[in-house]
Structure 1
Amino acid sequence: MEDKCAQFMCKFTSFVMFLNMFSSIFLLVIISVDRCIAVIFPVWAQNQRTIKKASVIVFLAWVFSVSLSVPSLIFRDIQHHLDRTRCHNNYNCHDSHNSVSISRFIFGFLMPFLIIIVCYSIIFFKLRSNQMAKSSKPFKIMTALIGTFFLCWLPYHTFMLAELNHGFPIKIIAFGLKIGTLIASANSFLNPILYVFMGNDFRRKFKNSILSKIENAIGEEGCTTNRYLSRSSSMDARTSTHI
């Protein structure tokens, strides 16, 4: 019973981790393509972009993410060694290992990275040629998005492909995959920061809300102090009258 539970958690946690990573990648690609279409064909995009179509595209992105995460449910297994239970990839043959690794590299890194570069390059040159951008901030955000995606995912896929070459030391590959997986997972929460926190409206509203909270707190503290002082004065007045 314990082995079945451990095996289930081994498969499930790995599946959820890859589902989270691949879904964030594909959603980032969808956002990049959507922005590119909106810049190139603004009139068509305004008439054709609907919530229903967007829902279908997002649904397909999740389906594709699930399909790339399914190998975790198939090949992840547990292994007992020196009273310890280890979760590892138990590939039936070398071809299965190659197929999973290469498919994850192509569909989870290479193609999305190329699509993102192409989309933001088109946006960059379109805005620059039409002088639609009054500041350099949109270009800095584009560069940050592309750079973050590349730097976060490159270590993982580098060690994943290096694992196919049996000439590399196993300990170095295992350690590199752990670090690479951690950095790749970080890309999931870095993207919202880049999209939201770098916006002027968000920063201004956030700053105003913080200032308003501080002003309200100071105002309430002042009112409390004034009430306390007035209460103390009235009590002193009553005391002196009584004496």
Structure 2
Amino acid sequence: MSVKPSWGPGPSEGVTAVPTSDLGEIHNWTELLDLFNHTLSECHVELSESTKRVVLFVLYLAMFVVGLVENLLVICVNWHSSGRAGLLNLYILNMAIADLGVVLSLPVWMLEVMLDYTWLWGSFFCRFTHYFYFANMYSSIFFLVCLSIDRYATLTSASASWQRHQHQVRRAVCAGIWILSAIIPLPEVVHIQLIEGPEPVCLFMAPFEMHSTWALVMTLSTTILGFLLPFPLIAVFNVLMACRLRQPGQPESRRHCLLMCAYVAVFVICWLPYHVTLLLLTLHGTHISLHCHLVHLLYFFYEVIDCFSMLHCVINPILYNFLSPRFRDRLLNAVVHYLPKDQARAGTHASSSTQHSIVITKVDGQPAAAGPHPEPSLSFQAPPLLPNTSPIAPPQPLTSS
């Protein structure tokens, strides 16, 4: 999102909220922005906007390059997965597509920051870019929730009905998430307008008399749908998964539990600062009163905090794909496929030897007393030679195939 918050004036227009009593003397947006600028001069904080713009440009550029490469690799590898492997990775594939959509919007925010929030791409792209960002942001979060629930359900469910219909359920859920994510941003996007002037600005422009109410509604809906509902689900199912996988004295079990904790921690670190800052800035002036200097600091660092929240598009591919040995093997096989024949033979031989040694090590290291639920692997990359193996079951002995 370019203007932060998108339903309030950006730093270039003035950043101090106006008391409700003063709004009674304001009759249009021009007078309101003039009052913002007047209020700004009464509480001055020495902060370097030029330094912030350079930092944001570097961050946006780095996330764009790394996120683009990572998500394209994830999409390519999972897209070519056939049969059971492709169905098991459906949530991961869709999440990578959504993260790629967020990454593709980064150049717009990067250029807007460097232009001091001047919008140069017309009225249509003012709305479309925000819509494209919000739709993909919600999709990424919702797919992450579904992935957390699906992994736990696949691990614990012994229902024959679930085993028969799980693939149809996954397809239906993915389609529903895309439709829901396409609808959620509409109430906000229809009120985003391009404010013409010497320096055109893309802003959220709700009906003037109800602007504070609209701002609060949009903020609460963003926070509830983007954090307050997804976070408990992600945390609960990952904690339950970690408890189920925990086996004292097993290093692999400890690694899986740490990975579960990392899923939850990354979500909180990326999104909690953004939603807290957004709520404080929206509530200030109408529901709560913050110190003038604190408001300046919140507005000044809002763009940095929002940029930091987009790190999930870079971290998700690492956590949910590149840490999986099976994904790395499939990625290596895909790379070897496009190498010249002599190099491909050598690479395939090395890959087969490596994969064989990994399987032998895991089978030999499997605990004898596995019980009814043996220690599962968190990787959802199904082995091509074992189509009937559970997606999160441990590698089976070579004799079972």
Q: TM-score, normalised by structure 1?
A: 0.75
* Shift in Å, 1:78: 2.0
Return the alpha-carbon distance in structure 2 between the equivalents of residues 114 and 171 of structure 1. 32
1:1-243 equivalence runs, <5 A:
6-44=122-160, 45-50=162-167, 52-81=168-197, 83-92=198-207, 93=210, 94-128=212-246, 134-164=252-282, 165-166=284-285, 167-168=289-290, 171-204=296-329, 216=343
Higher RCO, Cα 8 Å, sep 6+: 2
Instruction: From the superposition, tell whether residues 203 and 135 of structure 1 become closer, same or farther in structure 2 (CA, over 3 Å).
Output: farther
**Given that residues 76 and 89 in structure 1 are in contact (C-alpha distance below 8 angstroms), is that contact kept between their aligned partners in structure 2?**
yes
Aligned residue type for 1:216: Q
- Name the aligned partner's letter for residue 10 of structure 1: C
1:67 shift after superposition: 2.5
SS in 1 for 2:200: strand
Kindly state the Cα deviation for residue 133 of structure 1 after the two structures are TM-superposed: 8.5
Looking at structure 1, the residues matched to 193 and 126 of structure 2 have their Cα atoms a distance apart, in angstroms, of 7
Counterpart of 1:228 in structure 2 is none
Distance across 2 between alignment mates of 1:211 and 1:67: 42
Deviation at 1:114, TM superposition (A): 0.3
Q: Who is 2:48 aligned against?
A: none
Distance 2:334 2:173 in 1: 35
Deviation at 1:113, TM superposition (A): 0.5
| C-alpha RMSD of the superposition | 3.2
Aligned residues: 214
**Quick check: 1:155–1:176 contact (8 Å CA) kept in 2?**
no
- Cα distance in 2 for partners of 1:120, 1:131 equals 21
TM-score normalised according to structure 2 size: 0.47
Q: Which moved more, 1:10-19 or 1:207-216?
A: 207-216
| Alignment check: 8 A CA contact 1:29 1:115 kept | yes
Q: Which has the larger radius of gyration?
A: 1
Q: Unmatched 5+ residue regions in structure 1?
A: 220-243
Shift of 1:204: 5.0
CA distance in 1, matches of 2:265, 2:150: 19
The 2-side partners of 1:107 and 1:208 are apart by: 39
Contact kept in structure 1, 2:246 and 2:254, CA below 8 Å: no
More divergent stretch after superposition (157-166 vs 129-138): 129-138
The 4+ residue runs of structure 1 with deviation greater than 6 A are 129-133, 207-215
Deviation at 1:126, TM superposition (A): 1.6
Counterpart Cα distance in 2 of 1:182 and 1:38: 35
Secondary structure in 2 matching 1:88: strand
C-alpha deviation, 1:33, in angstroms: 0.7
Task: Provide closer, same or farther for how the CA distance between residues 119 and 89 of structure 1 changes in structure 2, counting only shifts above 3 A.
Answer: same
1:136 Cα shift?
2.0
Shift of 1:71: 3.0
Q: CA deviation at 1:137?
A: 2.1
Q: Is the 8 A contact 1:153 1:184 kept in 2?
A: yes
Which one has the bigger helix percentage? 1
Amino acid across the alignment from 1:121: V
Confirm or deny: 8 A CA contact 1:14 1:72 kept in the other structure: no
